[in-house]
Amino acid sequence: MGKAEVNSEVYNEFINGLNLLEIKLVYSEVKAEEDFSPPAEVKVGEEKKYKNVEEGKFIVTHEYKLKGKEKGKAKAGFFINVIYKLTYQSEIPITKKIFDVFSEISLPLHTWPYFRQFVHEMTARMGLPPLIVGLLKFE
């Protein structure tokens, strides 16, 4: 589970009482350098945070940062940044410990498919070979 440990019964109760109300793309930025030429080493980073907005509701911001670098070059040849905003309703209030687990296990199930599709479309539109980002892997 990573950083935090949450009792599995508490987490299961949280998940069972959770509803995703909305997911939307709130920011995107893409760029390819003119001299970039595939193949590239691709790395994906992410940032996740949450905020309670009213009783029983919270918002999650999930940002993905993808960079592609040609072998031997220091600067990224292309990048794709996207931010998704998700609104949830929950019977159990979210806590930092629950969010730490949720953000590693459940949140990617909600956002990763959108990110994969976005990367595929944008790399094609940038004149690059359409990039297919891998499937999620859980240990």
Q: Is residue 100 part of a domain?
A: yes
Residue 3 lies in a domain: no
Give the DSSP per-residue string, 70-112: -TT-SS-SEEEEEEEEEEEEESS---HHHHHHHHHHTHHHHHH
Whether 65 is in a domain gets the answer: yes
Whole domain around residue 34: which residue ranges? 8-125
Q: Are strands 57-69 and 78-90 parallel, antiparallel or unpaired?
A: antiparallel
Is residue 117 one of the residues assigned to a domain?
Answer: yes
- Does 31 reside within a domain? yes
Q: Is 70 exceeded by the pLDDT of residue 89? A: yes
Instruction: Give the per-residue pLDDT at 2.
Output: 45
**pLDDT band at 1, cuts 50/70/90?**
very low
Mean pLDDT, the chain, integer? 91
Q: Is residue 139 in a domain? A: no
Q: What is the mean pLDDT of residues 83-111?
A: 95
The kind and range of the H/E element at 15 are: helix 8-16
**Angle, helices 96-105/8-16, rounded to nearest 10 degrees:** 70
Provide the number of structural domains found in the chain: 1
- pTM beyond cutoff 0.85: yes
Distance CA 25, CA 69 (A): 25
Cβ partners under 8 Å of residue 72, min gap 6? none
Residue 132 resides in a domain: no
What CATH number does residue 67 fall under?
3.10.420.10
Rounded to the nearest 5°, which phi and psi values hold at 107? -55, -45
- Mean pLDDT over 17-44 rounds to 94
Residues 6 or more apart whose CB falls under 8 angstroms from that of 8 comprise none
At 138, is the pLDDT very low, low, confident or very high (cuts 50, 70, 90)? low
Among 21-25, 38-42, 133-137, which stretch is predicted with the lowest mean pLDDT? 133-137
